[in-house]
Structure 1
Amino acid sequence: MRDKLIKLSGDKTLTEVAQGLEITRQMLSAIEVGLRTPSLELARKIAIYYSTTIEDIFFESECN
């Protein structure tokens, strides 16, 4: 998940993304490294922020 979130953030800093999501940098960092699992509401907000789906960000693809 960390790689997906970092790739999606592009040139934006952790602070910029956190501000856009209206969460703390610490919360975003914890989600990226897998220490915290976002609520469904926050996962949806993250997906909307990146114009993708919750599944694309938070779930591994079963197809190889």
Structure 2
Amino acid sequence: MRTWLKDIRHQRGYTHQQVAELANIHRAYYTLIESGSRTPSVAASKSIGKALGFDWTIFFEDESNETKQKTVTV
């Protein structure tokens, strides 16, 4: 599970549906991304990053995403 992504979504007060709408992707796809079942495409990563206000490249970092989440500005 991408707990860092869930944490950011919760900090913003969004539901899965709201993030999906803001990112212009299907809710089911977003849910799979957040759960860690799917790796998002570059386009989806950019859209989610823009919708939630973080650097989209975090999805592709080798470094622990749990550590990277702490550097995200809320």
User: Do they superpose with TM above 0.5?
Assistant: yes
In structure 1, what is the equivalent of residue 5 of structure 2? Answer: 5
In structure 2, what is the equivalent of residue 41 of structure 1? Answer: 43
RMSD (Å), alpha carbons: 1.9
Question: How far 1:47 sits from its partner (Å)?
Answer: 1.3
- Between the two proteins, the alignment pairs up a number of residues equal to 61
- Consecutive unaligned residues in structure 1, runs of 5 or more: none
Is residue 2 of structure 2 the alignment partner of residue 18 of structure 1? no
Give CA-to-partner distance per residue, 1:23-57, whole Å, 9 cap, x none: 1111001111121111111111111222211244x
Runs of 4+ in 1 over 6 A off after TM superposition: none
- Consecutive unaligned residues in structure 2, runs of 5 or more: 69-74
What one-letter code is carried by the residue in structure 2 that aligns with 1:28? Y
How high is the TM-score relative to the length of structure 1?
Answer: 0.75
